[in-house]
């Protein structure tokens, strides 16, 4: 199988001093996030299946792309197991994920696919051990459960980005794949993503957190709910009707969450039937649910479901520029090796 990959040049680099630990101050609380080490060609990267069952053909296609990038790929031994709709039992999936964090040879962990099941693993994970063994972790969708817990409980910078048996297998654009490689290798000291629209103007900066909207709503009231105070909130989702998007945003607003953040940026919000009418309804509901907040609200960056899915680091400092319709990440997300 021949895989040809071309990486584009990048003109949006921002040079900043590098630090292994990023420190934020919000609501009088100091927080430190550990940046994982940068990836190099020849590094060992792991593929884990913490959620729904994985199809072999898609897993193999995605692994071929990672191999073509120059990495030595180690797939979890039980990645193709099935337990009802899941990729093995909760303890098996949690054990394989935790084992990769403990393995000193593994430099990065990529999620095979989402779907459902990551939230079931959180009580089974040792986040103190994970914090002592920081690694690049890449995934999105249902993996937002793990992304949020790694930021909050593990104190790690992690990566909302494409998954091996999904996005990689179906074919990432050259721009998206090049962005991922440059971000994880430390070649990017910063980047910008343009939104389609500014729903509410202004500018703001803070720690970037978030992920799949329905997953974040599912964590409300649990020990895994993110600290939203003073943050820049990123939201995306898929397969939801407009009224369900509205219901979740109303819940977040009534819970006081939307009033705590400094700004919000929305990625893909792909409706269940992909209809233009539903898309327009979603946009209107988002504008209404976020009206009157203190910070800017941007809509439609190329991140998440139904987009090019550019990788976004979570747990880093970011800025929203409503006038320019930009999400700006102005620091490296990995530490040099």
Q: What is the CA radius of gyration of the chain?
A: 19
221 shares a domain with 172? no
Q: Indicate the SS3 state at residue 40.
A: coil
**Which listed residue (160, 179, 200, 305) is catalytic?**
305
Host domain of residue 42: 21-185
Alpha-carbon distance 15 to 1, whole Å?
A: 38
Are 336 and 328 a contacting pair, CB within 8 Å? no
What lies within 8 Å, CB to CB, of 301 at 6+ separation is: 193, 194, 195, 196, 265, 266, 267, 307, 310, 327
pLDDT tens per residue, the chain (337 residues)?
333 333 333 333 333 334 456 654 444 333 679 999 999 999 999 999 999 999 999 999 999 999 999 999 999 999 999 999 999 999 999 999 999 999 999 999 999 999 999 999 999 999 999 999 999 999 999 999 999 999 999 999 999 999 999 999 999 999 999 999 999 999 999 999 999 999 999 999 999 999 999 999 999 999 999 999 999 999 999 999 999 999 999 999 999 999 999 999 999 999 988 889 999 999 999 999 999 999 999 999 999 999 999 999 999 999 999 999 999 999 999 999 8
For residue 274, what pLDDT is reported?
82
For residue 272, what pLDDT is reported?
87
Q: What is the total count of domains within the chain?
A: 2
169, 185, 201: which is the final residue of a domain? 185
Active site residue 141: yes
First-to-final CA distance of the chain: 32
Q: Would you say residue 221 lies in a domain?
A: yes
136, 154, 185: which is the final residue of a domain? 185
For residue 273, what pLDDT is reported?
83
How does strand 312-314 pair with strand 158-160? antiparallel
**Which listed residue (76, 141, 176, 214) is catalytic?**
141
157 shares a domain with 241? no
For residue 209, what pLDDT is reported?
98
What lies within 8 Å, CB to CB, of 138 at 6+ separation is: 108, 109, 110, 111, 158, 159, 161, 162, 163, 180, 184, 311
Which residue bears the tokens 């996030």?
A: 33
285 shares a domain with 159? no
Q: Indicate the SS3 state at residue 177.
A: helix
Q: What CATH number is given to the structural domain containing 285?
A: 3.50.30.60
181 shares a domain with 59? yes
**Which listed residue (96, 144, 214, 236) is catalytic?**
236
For residue 84, what pLDDT is reported?
95
Tell me the C-alpha to C-alpha distance, in Å, between residue 19 and each of 16, 29, 153, 201: 9, 20, 20, 32
Active site residue 236: yes
161 shares a domain with 30? yes
Are 145 and 224 a contacting pair, CB within 8 Å? yes
Alpha-carbon distance 277 to 150, whole Å?
A: 37
185, 213, 239: which is the final residue of a domain? 185
155 shares a domain with 210? no
Q: Would you say residue 6 lies in a domain?
A: no
Active site residue 81: no
Q: Tell me, yes or no, if the pTM score tops 0.75.
A: yes
Alpha-carbon distance 150 to 97, whole Å?
A: 12
156 shares a domain with 206? no
135 shares a domain with 33? yes
111 shares a domain with 47? yes
Q: Indicate the SS3 state at residue 136.
A: strand
Q: Indicate the SS3 state at residue 324.
A: coil
171 shares a domain with 67? yes
161 shares a domain with 58? yes
Alpha-carbon distance 254 to 244, whole Å?
A: 15
For residue 128, what pLDDT is reported?
97
195 shares a domain with 136? no
For residue 337, what pLDDT is reported?
87
For residue 1, what pLDDT is reported?
34
For residue 270, what pLDDT is reported?
92
Query: In sequence order, what E strands does the chain have?
Result: 21-26, 29-34, 44-48, 72-75, 106-111, 136-139, 158-160, 191-194, 197-200, 203-212, 232-238, 263-270, 297-299, 312-314, 317-321, 326-329
Q: How many residues does the chain have?
A: 337
């Amino acid at each position: 199988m021949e895989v040809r990959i071309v990486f584009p040049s990048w003109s949006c680099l921002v040079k900043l001093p590098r630090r292994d630990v990023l420190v934020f101050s919000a609501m009088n609380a100091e927080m430190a996030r550990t940046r994982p080490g940068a990836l190099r060609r020849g590094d060992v990267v792991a593929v884990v299946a913490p959620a729904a069952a994985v199809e072999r053909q898609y897993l193999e296609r995605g692994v071929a792309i990672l191999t073509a990038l120059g990495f030595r790929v180690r797939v979890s031994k039980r990645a193709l197991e099935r337990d009802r709709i899941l990729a093995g039992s909760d303890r098996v999936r949690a054990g394989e994920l935790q084992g990769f964090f403990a393995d000193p040879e593994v430099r990065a962990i990529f999620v095979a696919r989402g779907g459902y099941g990551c939230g079931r693993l959180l009580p089974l994970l040792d986040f103190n051990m994970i914090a002592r063994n920081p690694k690049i972790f890449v995934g999105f969708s249902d993996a937002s459960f793990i992304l949020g817990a790694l930021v909050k409980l593990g104190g790690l910078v992690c990566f909302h980005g494409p998954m091996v048996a999904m996005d990689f297998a179906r074919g990432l654009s050259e721009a998206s794949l090049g962005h991922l490689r440059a971000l994880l290798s430390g070649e990017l000291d910063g980047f910008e993503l343009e939104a389609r629209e500014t729903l509410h103007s202004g500018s703001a900066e803070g720690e970037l957190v978030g992920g799949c909207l329905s997953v974040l709503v599912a964590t409300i009231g649990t020990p895994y709910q993110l600290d939203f105070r003073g943050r820049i909130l990123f939201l995306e989702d898929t397969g939801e009707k407009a009224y369900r998007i509205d219901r979740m945003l109303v819940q977040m607003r009534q819970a006081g969450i939307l009033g705590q953040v400094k700004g919000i940026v929305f990625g893909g919000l792909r409706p269940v039937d992909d209809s233009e009418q539903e898309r327009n309804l979603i946009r209107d509901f988002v504008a209404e649910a976020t009206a009157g907040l203190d910070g800017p609200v941007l809509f439609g960056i190329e991140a998440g479901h139904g987009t090019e899915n550019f990788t976004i680091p979570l747990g880093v400092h970011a800025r929203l520029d409503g006038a320019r319709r930009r999400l700006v990440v102005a620091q490296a997300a990995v530490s040099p090796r």
